[in-house]
Amino acid sequence: MDSEPVISNKSRVYLDKPYVKVFWSPEDSILMSKWSGFCTFEEIKAVGDRILDAVTFEGAQKVLYDARQIEVLDDNSQRYISGTFTQEMISSGVKFAAAVFPDDIFAKFSIDDIQRDIQERRISNVTYFQSISNAFNWLKHK
C-alpha cells in the first residue's frame, strides 16, 4: 500500500517557513522535513540546527527529507549537508534516513553531489528514493 506522510493533529511542528516544514510524526516515529524553493546557506544551517534540536528532543532515529520541490543548493550548503550536518545527525542517534530526489533536474545535480560526497566520506546512513511513498514506507518498516 502506498502512503505518504501527513501532518496530523498529534504531529509536533518544529519549523514552518516558506522553504521548509519540519515536523515530528509520533504515529510513525519519524522526523520529516519538506523542502521547497531556494534556500540560502544561512537558512540551510539554521534549519539543520533546528532539525538536530528536534532529533535530540524526540529521540528520533528515523528521518525523512522530502526534497522533491527544492531548488539548486550552493556549494557551501552542499558541503555543510554532506559533512558537518550528516555527522551530527548520526552522532545524535539517527539510524535511518531517507531522502527523496528533487523533481528539478538542476536541483537533482546538487543532491547527486551531496550523495557522492557522503559516500566518499563513508559516513552516511541516508538511502535515496525517487518517490515519497517508497521512502516513507521504507522508514516505517525500519
More confident residue, 110 or 35: 35
What tens digit of pLDDT does each residue of 69-104 get? 888 778 898 888 888 898 899 899 999 999 897 676
Average pLDDT over residues 28-47: 94
Measured at the CA of 47, the angle between CA 104 and CA 49, to 5 degrees, comes to 140
Q: Nearest Cα to 77, choosing from 122, 52, 42, 112?
A: 42
Q: How far apart are CA 21 and CA 28, in angstroms?
A: 17
Tell me the three cell numbers of residue 106.
Answer: 538542476
Query: Alpha carbon of 120 to those of 25, 108, 123: distances in Å?
Result: 31, 18, 8
Q: Identify the residue whose cell numbers are 543548493.
A: 73
Position 108 scores a pLDDT of 60
Band of pLDDT at residue 120, cut at 50, 70 and 90: low
Res 92: pLDDT: 95
Q: How many CB atoms lie within 10 A of CB 124?
A: 20
Phi, psi of 93 (to 5 degrees): 110, 5
Would you say the pTM of this structure is higher than 0.85?
Answer: no
